[in-house]
Every structure is written in C-alpha cells, then in structure tokens.
Amino acid sequence: MTSKKTSLYGMLLALAMILSYVEALIPINIGVPGVKLGLPNIVTVIGLYSLGPVPTLIISFLRIILVSFMFGNTMTLAYSISGFALSFLTMLILLKIGGFHMTVVSVTGGVMHNVGQLTAAILLLHSEILLLYLPVLMIAGVTAGAVIGLVSGLVTDRIQTYLRTVN
C-alpha cells in the first residue's frame, strides 16, 4: 500500500468520524428511536464506488468501532454493526449486479441499515412490538438514503481526478 493510499484512507476514516459526531449533534425527534441522517454513509457510498469494497469495509468498520467507544456503548455498537452489516452486504450485491445508480444503492443501504438495526433491537430486547417502528424507519431510510446518494454522487464527481492519482 502506498503512502498516498494510507493517507487517503486515514482522511476518509477521520471524515466519517467527524460526520458521525456532527450527526450526533443534530437532534431528530420524530418519536421513533434510531432515526438519523446517515451522514457517515457519504464516505461509505463514495468508498464503494471509488475505492472498492475491501478498503471501504475496513474504513467503515473502524469508524463504527471507534465512534461506538468514544460516543456510545455496547448497545450502540451492536445496533451499528447489525445495521452496517446488512446495509453493506446489500449495497455490495447491487454493485456486483451492476447497472444501479448511486442513489438507488444508497437508498437500499439506508433502508437495510434500519432493518438491520431493528432486527438487532428485536433480538436483544425480545420485543416484537418494535416492528411497529418499521414504516417510519423505512420512510426515514429512503429519505436519508436518497439525500446521501445525491450528495455522494456530487462529491464523487468532484474528487474523481484526485482518486485516480491515488489508485
């Protein structure tokens, strides 16, 4: 691995952590826990399209671990890992199939992230009544995923020249 790649991956990890922190500062209270903007997913979507799955997986996983230890707890870690695993796997499958716009991949990732977190909550809390949150979480996932996909596309267009020099 070149020093340029190491620097890029470190910067993306730092950016994802900063976006996680900024997201934690933005209060979203719609009566359903777990609804967030998904700002760190900008780094994940850009990474999948620009760096490939392995570096993106490592950056995202490290972000989840570090942010959970700095700002959360073990439950935060469990929910984040569950949501990320399902989201990342689904987005990766769509990328391998090909032909999907970045926004579609991001929306799918947002929805599946919420499904993963909800599944973890149901299993950890032993409460199927949490399924009542599903409609709101789906709307939130589609909305946030669309915004993240659009922003990721705009950023990717602007940094492609730089990323080509690193890769």
What pLDDT shows up at residue 81?
Answer: 96
For the chain, strand residue ranges (E) read none
pLDDT per residue of the chain (167 residues) written in tens, 0 to 9: 789 899 999 999 999 999 999 998 988 888 778 788 999 999 999 999 999 999 999 999 999 999 999 988 899 999 999 999 999 999 999 999 988 999 999 999 999 999 999 999 999 999 999 999 999 999 999 999 999 999 999 999 998 888 777 76
Quick one: which of 7, 60, 58, 49 has its CA closest to 160?
49
Dihedral sign, Cα of residue 113, residue 116, residue 120, residue 123:
positive
Global pTM reads: 0.92
CATH class of domain segment(s) 3-166: mainly alpha
Interatomic CA distance for residues 14 and 58, integer angstroms: 13
Q: So where are the chain's domains?
A: 3-166
What pLDDT shows up at residue 125?
Answer: 95
Quick one: which of 105, 95, 130, 101 has its CA closest to 115?
130
